[in-house]
Amino acid sequence: MKQDIDLTSIIRGLGKALQQVRPYVGLAFFVMLSLMYGFVLLQLNTLSSAPVDETKVTLQASTSPTLNVDPKAAAQLQSLKDNSSNVEALFEQNRTDPFHE
């Protein structure tokens, strides 16, 4: 049984199928978003509960750069602190409450 298939019959068939599926597009979109959201939550849960390798942590901590303060700048700040009462008050205030605005 050989059937004659032409482009217009395929387009008509797709149009009818689209009309039948159209009421469910919103539901399908909601299901797709829910599946993607669930996948992301599952991946976050998996990655957040992964065991930490202590050797990698120590290696990363040892390769991180240490902060260095220029000795001249430190001496200048210390002399400013010692010579000015306003600056000394600022230093003490920031030392006791660093997040005070």
**Residue 43 domain-assigned?**
no
State how far the Cα of 70 lies from the Cα of 68, in Å rounded to an integer.
7
**Residue 77 domain-assigned?**
yes
For the chain, how many structural domains are there in total? 1
Write out the residue range of the structural domain in which residue 87 sits. Answer: 71-101
State how far the Cα of 33 lies from the Cα of 40, in Å rounded to an integer.
11
Three-state DSSP class for residue 69: coil
**Residue 82 domain-assigned?**
yes
Model pTM above 0.85? no
Tens digit of each residue's pLDDT, the chain (101 residues): 567 778 888 888 889 998 998 999 999 999 999 999 999 999 999 988 878 888 888 888 777 777 788 889 888 888 877 777 666 676 777 777 777 66
